[in-house]
Structure 1
Amino acid sequence: MKVSSVRNSTRALLVVTACALALSACAGNKKNKPRLAYEERPVELLYATGADRLDRRQWNQAVNYFQEVERQHPYSEWSRRSILMQAFAHYQGNDYAEAVADADRFIQLYPGNPTAAYAHYIKAICYFEQIVDVNRDQAATAQALDALRDVVQRYPRTEYAADARLKIDMVNDQLAGKEMTIGRWYLRAGDTLAATNRFKTVVDRYQTTSHTPEALYRLVESYLTLGLMEEAKRNGAVLGYNYPGDPWYGDAYKLLTSKGLKPAVEPKGGGGRGIFRMPFRRDKDKTVQPPGATDSNVVVQTSKATDQRTIFKLPLGKKDEKLPPVETTPEPK
């Protein structure tokens, strides 16, 4: 009786497990199922329609058409291009996780292709645009910095590296701002030694950022509190030599002279405390577009007479030749 009961229980468990696996597979297939109904179409038409949707800022539709390029023409040149276009469309739609996944897929499939540079670039930009303000955790900031540096090291003479260098400056300023925020908190809490370590980090690691003058002033302030007069004088001298006209040096000069420590450099500013911060901008219009996005073998023209967009397909290598239209798409109302 017990054996029969065990067998029945085992059989029921197997049935339940099989059903669960089947449902899971169905759910997975539903999630991965292309949104466009399968209809065999020329690769140029699919790609051109995806590019057209990008122009219209219809990011999800653009992704669908570029996915169709991969599905219907997996071994074509257009398929390789479409992966980067998917990454760009996902990025423009703020779907950063999918954009990074597309970029990683391209890097894995075509690591030696020259356009892999763009995959590394768009991946770094996705991390960059997920950076949060200095009052929150900066894990994404460190990740963005590593990815941007990777672009500069791999492709130093490209336009991607030029943009990455600008963003590295912004990221460093962000990380320095985080250290300053924590340091000020320690000062308010009366933990001067801990605050000093934070300000020293800014001076040592982020000395080219806009936070350096304040960090040097805070070190002067902290060392005076700790009774380390020579250290206070030394940091004041560094501040005066490098930023003689900065308002933070004016404050440091007053503080040092009040303690009988007269710095060698006279302040050139008015002595008021000013704050300058590098603006942290996220501008998708400034992001470099994928290779061939604006100079491909596909032309989309708008007819003023009919107010319709006509998509032409061009043979590879013949950009000046126009063939008869293959699709006409009305303008959205």
Structure 2
Amino acid sequence: MKSAVRVLALGLALGLSGCGILPEQVDETRGWSASRLYSEARDELSAGNYDKAISHFEKLEARYPFGTYAQQAQMEIAYAHYRQGEQPEALAAVDRFIKLHPNHPNVDYMYYLRGLINFNDRASLFDFISRQDPSERDPKSAQDAFESFKQLAERFPSSTYTPDAIARMKYLVNALAQHHVHVANYYYRRGAYVAAANRAQLAVTEYRDAPAIEEALFIMMKSYEAMGMPQLRNDSERILRATFPNSEFLAAGGRREKTPWWKVW
């Protein structure tokens, strides 16, 4: 009799499941206070359980939208997406927070986080250096990161995050200049000397203080030489010698292996 009851119960459960009328899964957070939701979400975040942490933070914001915990939850959601490697979601969360709370006492951190989100997109940004044609890459993330760090430095010069933002800006300036140099080299090796000179000149014009302009000037010099333009060639060499009197490129008569710029920072 007991076996028959169990079979009947199992059959009923399967039937209900097939009809889609089983009761929904119980929400373990139902009835939790704002402080408990936040505490539990933080624990999940610290443990690396980002999906669950985001779920808890979203429930906190939905159930207690007018408390201080809700604003903190919005910040934590952005950070959790960032740690999860979900760049679009993280950027959307950051932009939403800045729009909703432009005068929040911790909004400087959100500008900093926005810079970090773009800054840490290195895998796609600079993959061209070793594995991909540099002319096919667009370092938009680096430019976006630079702009976010710049906004932080200009709006919050006394922020705890500003010194690190400025250091990263210096790195990004050379990264962006180096991108132009790699593209210029690409054109030069293929005999597209006009394009090579123009791209190298762009690096020199836009990133005057970047170490990469040493090589950019050298590429300009060699490109003008290949095009039979002695005046422009000599002008480029004169500027190169004046700016970098101990240039390794001039000393070697060509390119020399140097420590990669991304390992110097």
- Write the distance in 2 (CA, Å) between the matches of 1:229 and 1:157: 50
Aligned to 1:109: 100
Aligned to 1:238: 239
Aligned to 1:84: 75
Aligned to 1:273: 256
Matched, 1:99 2:90: yes
- Write the distance in 1 (CA, Å) between the matches of 2:263 and 2:40: 35
Aligned to 2:153: 152
Pair 55,118 (structure 1): closer, same or farther in 2 beyond 3 Å:
same
Contact residue 217 and residue 239 of structure 1 kept, 8 A: yes
Give the structure with the larger helix fraction.
2
- Write the distance in 1 (CA, Å) between the matches of 2:27 and 2:262: 42
How far apart are 1:181 and its partner, in Å? 2.2
Aligned residues: 230
Q: Aligned to 2:262, what secondary structure does the other structure show? A: coil
Aligned to 1:5: none
How far apart are 1:38 and its partner, in Å? 4.8
Structure 2 stretches lacking a partner, 5+ long: 1-25, 129-133
Structure 2 letter corresponding to 1:151? L
> What does the per-residue CA deviation read over 1:35-93, in whole Å, with 9 as the maximum and x for residues that have no partner?
95551212222111112122212211221222222122211111111110111111111
How far apart are 1:137 and its partner, in Å? 2.5
Contact residue 87 and residue 98 of structure 1 kept, 8 A: yes
Structure 2 letter corresponding to 1:74? P
Q: Aligned to 1:166, what secondary structure does the other structure show? A: helix
Contact residue 183 and residue 199 of structure 1 kept, 8 A: yes
Pair 154,79 (structure 1): closer, same or farther in 2 beyond 3 Å:
same
The alignment-based identity, stated in percent, is: 23
Contact residue 29 and residue 37 of structure 2 kept, 8 A: no
Larger relative contact order (CA 8 Å, sep ≥ 6): 1
Structure 2 letter corresponding to 1:83? Q
Aligned to 1:192: 193
> What does the per-residue CA deviation read over 1:259-286, in whole Å, with 9 as the maximum and x for residues that have no partner?
xxxxxxxxxxxxx8232332179xxxxx
Aligned to 2:4: none
Q: Aligned to 1:159, what secondary structure does the other structure show? A: coil
- Write the distance in 1 (CA, Å) between the matches of 2:94 and 2:152: 13
Structure 1 stretches lacking a partner, 5+ long: 1-34, 256-271, 282-333
Matched, 1:48 2:32: no
- Write the distance in 2 (CA, Å) between the matches of 1:231 and 1:105: 50
Contact residue 210 and residue 277 of structure 1 kept, 8 A: no
Q: Aligned to 2:211, what secondary structure does the other structure show? A: coil
Deviating runs (4+, > 3 A) in structure 1? 35-38
> TM-score if structure 2 supplies the norm length?
0.77
- Write the distance in 1 (CA, Å) between the matches of 2:263 and 2:216: 20
| RMSD, aligned α-carbons | 2.5
Aligned to 2:209: 208
Mean Cα displacement is larger for which, 121-130 or 193-202?
A: 121-130
Q: Spell out the pairing of 1:1-333 with structure 2 (5 A cutoff).
A: 37-131=28-122, 132-133=125-126, 134=128, 135=134, 136-251=137-252, 254=253, 273-279=256-262
- Write the distance in 2 (CA, Å) between the matches of 1:280 and 1:207: 21
How far apart are 1:164 and its partner, in Å? 2.1
Mean Cα displacement is larger for which, 224-233 or 171-180?
A: 224-233
> What does the per-residue CA deviation read over 1:187-227, in whole Å, with 9 as the maximum and x for residues that have no partner?
12222122111111111112322322111111221222233
Mean Cα displacement is larger for which, 193-202 or 174-183?
A: 174-183
Give the structure with the larger strand fraction.
1
- Write the distance in 2 (CA, Å) between the matches of 1:230 and 1:82: 62
